[in-house]
Structure 1
Amino acid sequence: MSDHPAPPVPEPVDVQGSALVDWEFAAAAAARLAPPGPKADRAEIAALVTDLRSAASRAVGPVAETARMQAPADAPPALVVDRAGWIRANCASMGEMLAPVLDDVIARKREADRQRAERAGRELPDLGAASQAISGKVTGTEVAGLLSWVSTKVLGQYDLAPQGNPTLMFVAPNILGAERELGVDPADFRLWVAVHEETHRVQFTAVPWLRQHLIDQARSVGTTMMPEPDQMGQRLVEIARAMPAVLRGEEDITQVVATPEQRERLARVTAVMSLLEGHADVVMDEVGPSVIPSVEHIRRQFTQRRKGAGNVDKLLRRLLGMEAKMRQYKDGAVFVRAVVDQVGVDGFNQVWTSPETLPHPTEIADPPAWVARVHG
């Protein structure tokens, strides 16, 4: 008999959805992977930051006048960040946004494992902390690869920040790179971008219920999009079969990974996103040359830039569903302009009354149907 006591039996680890992705690791890895951006000396960087902050302030009046909506006076000021700063903010927001979704994934998997173990007469295996940590870092590495690429594309963002305070951000190196690539007037371009992002800030602060509504809808879609554990293999086979069509641009990745019911839910969220992006695009153009003298030239150049992505860039956009995102700008802008033409800006702003007055998926392509439903 040993003189040493037996080692204690470890308590079962409470598996949380957050363990599926190590968000801190993902943020650090993505920041290392992301290229630093265009070259600029310290004086140019300092001037860029100052000018972007000024542009954010100068955008407030034109947006309020054009959209006939205004953010509250106590809304926090805009932040100017580099790519690493954008990555950190989005990892924090994504972690909080996806936490309930991933918790549901874990719960369903554990229940499926429990039932299999019960049928086989075995005990349910415990997932130890070490195993969770390894899994979280593997997934975190995949997230880091995606975020490092996306961080080079985003000019600005209104971060919904489910975990805290929403913030308007401008990604300085991307704005500098875009204005150089487009050959546009820097001051005009920075204000043009600021007007777009200020419009998003107004949408979510002047319409108090909108932020939580969109967060709830996105989480609901995320939860329903996750296949049951016993369906995962079949879903992967379906995705593999459809992938050549996705890469050729003949199929939308979101249509491949979703069931008909899931597509309907996704369509509702997409309709809202089309509204938000289209409205911001319309406002940024409607402020006019009295505020942004070269606005028409900027729009032509920017539209051409969206079309002119290289082959690798286009493939990544298709795989990430970003081509569908580009369509949101176009479809939403067509909807907004058509409604404004029919019932004016104040009539259009009835869209912000409640979740029930948001456009249905079919109404984005049929603005008179929305007008008939909401205005009678």
Structure 2
Amino acid sequence: MSDIPFGFGPSDRDPQRRDENGPGGGGNPADPFGFGALFGGAGGGSPEDLLGKMPLFAELQKLMTWSGGPVNWDLARQGAISQLAAGHQPTSAAERSEVTEALRLADLWLDQVTELPSGIERTAAWSRVDWLEQTLPAWGALIDPLAERVVAAMTSALPAEAAAVAGPLSGVMGQMGGVMFGAQVGQALGKLADEVVTSTDVGLPLAPAGTAALVPQNVDAFREGLDRPEEEVRLFLALREAAHQRLFAHVPWLRQQLADAVHAYARGIHVDADAIQRGLEDAMGGMEGGFDPQDPEKLQQLLGSGVLEPAETEEQQRALRRLETLLALVEGWVDVVVAEAAGQRLPGHGALAETMRRRRASGGPAEQTFATLVGLQLRPRRLRDAATVWGAMAAQHGSEARDQLWSHPDLLPTAEDLDEPLDFVGRQSRPSAADAAAEQDEFDRLTAGLDLGDPDDAPGTDGDTGSGDTGSGDTGSAPR
């Protein structure tokens, strides 16, 4: 998966291949952007030659007339599916039955450890291609705002001489951006589809609402080397999927908060013109023969140098911190309730949970995806601290008090709270029922302090009904 976040990254990082395909290296000057490689390596020739190769020209025309947004999702889908084609295995009827049974049993176990009810309306066993097809709408909603802002920021940062050339071709530049983004997203999602084991494996609700899904082919790959029964591994992952579904179904603001954090990052993208201008001057000065705005290869070299990538702002850092905290809280809660539900039922739960932790720490699909999308590295320390909060809340105040923290976003631990998770739990001094009783005791004490002498002579206030004139049974006066 590419380490470069969205942007005009280098088309080829291999110096030898760049030399071979670049100026003087036997490359094709008529194809400076290397689009020939996208179509089976067909290359070369004059425009007339290209027009004569109608299948190639038709495919290129289709790519360059995309009008569905800043990312060419047709290209992304085709690229990802082509990546998956060689190892694709459709799901069988037996696998679908096994997944349904595992999710049904997982929901029964979770009923005993959390107040949140089941969020599963339908179950599914997806192939890798199924996962891609079913989650593309969610990826589009997340990625398009980012891509749009990045393209706008980078275009506005072009030097005057490059902008003069690019101005008349702004439409073509936009289409090229869509192609570049589409190719990069397709590569990332194809890699991700090879690894994800459930629909919520990246911490986000990517499946259609109410759908719980496992990817049997990837579940088998996850199980390799674990020396645990197939049914046990499947049930462990079903517990995680069913737990995620409960949160996303019954915490109505959670989906939107996660999406808003990603979009807040996009809104924070802006260009430091002075810093970029200095970088551009250095980049153009370092080009052999200088920068020639009429040379499309030099323009591509400039775009791929990285100097046009916008710097991260304080607003973006806050958005990333909020996103990281929310994802850690989700994953920490899932870890805790799955551990409670598995209990003594799954002898291998400890080993399976440790495998999942190592998977995250080594850069699993969630970390890799968010690193590609927004530069976010999901730190395992945050997950451990979030799990500490949820576990301590249940131990000290019960599972009901723990789950009630999800009733409003303001009740959740903040990033600062995760620095000292036990202090946060200690401040949650009483369960909600005890809080209500304590408040009533305090109210009774204060109102009793106003009862000076005969209740009929107690001082009144606006709206006071303590005089007994209405016979309403108000607690402001004691019955005689």
TM-score range, shorter chain: 0.7 to 0.9
Match of 2:117 among 52, 70, 79: 70
Residue 131 of structure 1 and its aligned partner are, at CA, apart by 4.4
Kindly indicate whether residue 252 of structure 2 is the aligned counterpart of residue 205 of structure 1: no
Question: What is the aligned partner in structure 1 of residue 19 from structure 2?
Answer: none
Task: Compute the TM-score of the two structures, normalised by the length of structure 1.
Answer: 0.72
Q: Distance in 2 between matches of 1:235 and 1:183?
A: 57
What CA RMSD, in Å, does the superposition of the two structures yield over aligned residues? 4.1
More helix by proportion, 1 or 2? Answer: 1
Greater relative CO (CA pairs within 8 A, separation 6+): 1
Work out whether 1:147 is the aligned partner of 2:192: no
- In the alignment, which of 110, 114, 125 is matched to residue 80 of structure 1? 125
Residue 258 of structure 1 corresponds to 312
Structure 1 counterpart SS, 2:111: helix
CA shift, 1:325, in A, is: 5.2
Cross-structure match for 1:228: 271
C-alpha distance after superposition, 1:36-68 (max 9, x if no partner): 559x8x8x9443332112111211121222122
Give the aligned residue type for 2:237: V
Residues 204 and 288 (structure 1), Cα distance of their counterparts in 2 relative to 1, 3 Å cut: same
1:80 Cα deviation from its structure 2 partner: 1.6
**In structure 2, distance between residues paired with 1:366 and 1:17:** 49
Indicate the SS of the match to 1:169. strand
Identity %: 23
Q: 1:198 to 1:340 in 2, by over 3 A?
A: same
Q: 1:182-197 maps to which residues of 2 (within 5 A)?
A: 182-197=226-241
Instruction: Structure 1: state its 5+ residue gaps.
Output: 1-14, 238-255
Could you state the TM-score of these two structures normalised by the residue count of structure 2?
0.58
8 Å CA contact 2:71–2:144 kept in 1: the answer is: no
Question: What displacement does 1:308 show?
Answer: 7.5
Deviation at 1:274, TM superposition (A): 0.6
Which residue number in structure 2 is paired with residue 288 of structure 1? 342
SS in 2 for 1:19: coil
Within 2, Cα distance between the matches of 1:345 and 1:304?
Answer: 27
Structure 1 residues 29, 47: CA separation in 2 closer, same or farther (over 3 Å shift)?
Answer: same
In structure 2, what is the Cα distance between the partners aligned to 1:333 and 1:235? 45
**1:20 matches 2:70:** yes
Q: Does 1:99 align with 2:180?
A: no
Matched, 1:157 2:199: yes
SS in 1 for 2:213: strand
The secondary structure found in structure 2 opposite 1:155 is coil
Could you say which residue in structure 2 is the equivalent of 1:60? 107
2:224 aligned counterpart, secondary structure: helix
Does residue 335 (structure 1) correspond to residue 385 (structure 2)? The answer is: no
200-209 or 259-268, which deviates more: 259-268
Deviation per CA, 1:135-168, whole angstroms, max 9, x where unpaired?
3122211122222222222111235359x64633
Letter of the structure 2 residue corresponding to residue 24 of structure 1: D
Instruction: Tell me which residue corresponds to 1:12.
Output: none
Gap regions ≥5 residues in structure 2: 1-64, 281-309, 431-480
Describe the superposition over 1:158-189 as per-residue Cα deviations: whole angstroms up to 9, x where unpaired.
35359x64633312211011113322111111
- The question of whether the paired residues in 2 share the 8 Å contact of 1:17 and 1:105 is answered with no
Asked which structure has the greater CA Rg, the reply is 2
Change (3 A) 1:65 1:304: same
- Pick the aligned partner of 1:299 from 339, 350, 353: 353
Q: CA deviation at 1:262?
A: 2.5
* Secondary structure, aligned partner of 1:67: coil
Aligned counterparts of 1:98 and 1:368: Cα–Cα separation in 2: 36
d(CA) in 1 for partners of 2:150, 2:174: 14
Aligned to 1:271: 325
Q: How much has 1:212 moved relative to structure 2? A: 1.7
* One-letter amino acid matched to 1:202: R
Which residue among 396, 407, 412 is the counterpart of 1:353? 407
